[in-house]
Amino acid sequence: MKRYTVCFFLRKSNFAENYSLEKYFHELIKNHYDNRFIFKLKICPLISKGIFRRLYLIFWAYFNQGDINHVCGDINFLSIILKRNTILTIADNYSLIRLNGIKRILYFFFWVKLPLFKCARIIAISKKTKTEILKYLPHFKKKISIIDVCIPKIFKKNNKNNKNKIKKVLIIGTGINKNFYNSIIALSKINCELLIIGILDDQKILFLNKLKIKYKNYVGLTDLEVYKVYCQSDLLLFATFYEGFGMPILEAQAIGRPVITSDMQPHLHVGGKYALYVNPHSPQSIRSAVKKIITNSKFRKKLVNDGFKNVQRFNVRSILQKHYECYNELIINN
């Protein structure tokens, strides 16, 4: 039996940031079970920043190819000179949406149009991401598949019932799309403590202090440390404006924490019927949801129990099988 090497290209992580998509691919590689394929992890030697570093990474990727190349994360440009047997996973299109002017033009050409043209297959991690891609490049429809993501097994059920007199609300991410300010305004009239994973700049710290929010801030955590923060919390508040998928929804549910998230896609797909949905533009909507979970123990327990069921929809083995099908397709067609 001939075996094929699949090289996964992942960006080099920044200490201060937690890249969910990279965690996902590490989980796929750990659970790999099809002997026809040999999985190899290729982590970029440099952080993707600046023209010269990126040029270096393009040529580094060229000299580290396998029989099949799988480019993952926000390093789409690596595929520009890779051979045709290349798959690109796209998590979201947020950078393209938020950029303007010449930066947007360059990003569209080097991160979207040229990589999608060069790759044999494109994987979008949600229907929303696929729809956004086709909005810009409708003629690539036949190339694109949708494959959900799964979460690392470290995010496992935590049976310990927190007895926090003051409830702890967890927020993950502090970027523009994470809806930080509306979430803080919503919590300002609730007696709670906030656990924040993500970088806080001076403006955000001043805002927290102005509204007299009790909080703890965590940056540069390992997966185990993130898991421990989840376990300390009583609920996850994830009322974000934009996501490619929304892995924290599943992480919290797998651990046994109720989830408040946005009433939009892909949040609705990921959370299913098992999360509490809010209007992310309305602090009042967010506040009401937090109060409901804090004060209604019966409802809180139902969300937790239903969340365990929901996580089963995103099974690592079935997700891997869909990837194997993509790899087989490349082998057959080339």
Dihedral of alpha carbons 320, 322, 326, 331, sign? positive
Q: Are residues 290 and 326 in the same domain?
A: no
State how far Cα 130 lies from the chain centre. 15
On whether residue 156 sits in a domain, the answer given is no
Give the chain's mean pLDDT: 94
Distance, CA of 256 to CA of 146 (rounded, Å)? 27
CATH number at residue 177: 3.40.50.2000
Distance, CA of 110 to CA of 126 (rounded, Å)? 22
Q: Are residues 78 and 60 in the same domain?
A: yes
On whether residue 261 sits in a domain, the answer given is yes
State how far Cα 265 lies from the chain centre. 14
Q: So what's the pLDDT on residue 165?
A: 83
Q: Is the pLDDT of residue 291 over 80?
A: yes
Q: Which residue blocks in the chain are alpha helix, DSSP H?
A: 20-30, 51-62, 94-98, 101-107, 114-118, 127-136, 180-187, 202-210, 223-232, 247-255, 267-271, 283-295, 297-311, 316-333
Q: Is the pLDDT of residue 79 over 70?
A: yes
Q: Is the pLDDT of residue 240 over 80?
A: yes
Average pLDDT over residues 206-230: 95
- Asked if 37 and 327 touch (Cβ cutoff 8 Å), the reply is yes
Q: So what's the pLDDT on residue 18?
A: 59
> At 135, which amino acid appears?
K
Q: So what's the pLDDT on residue 281?
A: 98
Grade residue 213 by pLDDT with cuts at 50, 70 and 90. very high
Grade residue 15 by pLDDT with cuts at 50, 70 and 90. low
Domain that residue 241 falls in? 167-311
Find all residues with CB under 8 Å of 286, minimum gap 6, and list them.
Answer: 182, 183, 186, 187, 237, 239, 260, 278, 279, 280
On whether residue 113 sits in a domain, the answer given is yes
Q: Are residues 294 and 183 in the same domain?
A: yes
Q: Are residues 289 and 178 in the same domain?
A: yes
Q: Are residues 135 and 273 in the same domain?
A: no
Q: Which helix H or strand E contains 196, and what residues bound it?
A: strand 192-197
On whether residue 220 sits in a domain, the answer given is yes
Q: Are residues 263 and 242 in the same domain?
A: yes
Q: Are residues 141 and 203 in the same domain?
A: no
Neighbours of 33 (CB within 10 A): 10
Q: Is the pLDDT of residue 196 over 60?
A: yes
> What SS3 class is residue 37?
strand
Q: Are residues 187 and 252 in the same domain?
A: yes
Find all residues with CB under 8 Å of 9, minimum gap 6, and list them.
Answer: 42, 44, 61, 64, 69, 70, 71, 72, 75, 78
Q: Residues of the chain with pLDDT > 90: what percent?
A: 89
Q: Are residues 27 and 141 in the same domain?
A: yes
On whether residue 140 sits in a domain, the answer given is yes
pLDDT tens profile 252-284: 999 999 999 999 999 999 999 999 999 999 999
On whether residue 160 sits in a domain, the answer given is no
Beta bridge partners of 278: 262
State how far Cα 218 lies from the chain centre. 18
DSSP code of residue 111:
I
Q: Are residues 324 and 304 in the same domain?
A: no
Q: Are residues 141 and 250 in the same domain?
A: no
Q: So what's the pLDDT on residue 21?
A: 84
Q: Are residues 127 and 239 in the same domain?
A: no
- Number of separate domains in the chain: 2
On whether residue 157 sits in a domain, the answer given is no
Taken as a whole, the chain contains a residue count of: 334
On whether residue 161 sits in a domain, the answer given is no
Lowest mean pLDDT among 60-64, 95-99, 133-137, 208-212: 95-99
Please state the pTM of the whole predicted model.
0.94
Q: So what's the pLDDT on residue 17?
A: 61
Q: So what's the pLDDT on residue 16?
A: 56
> At 216, which amino acid appears?
K
Q: Is the pLDDT of residue 78 over 60?
A: yes
pLDDT tens profile 113-162: 999 999 999 999 999 999 999 999 999 999 999 999 999 999 999 877 67
Spatial CA neighbour of 75 closest among 42, 32, 101: 42
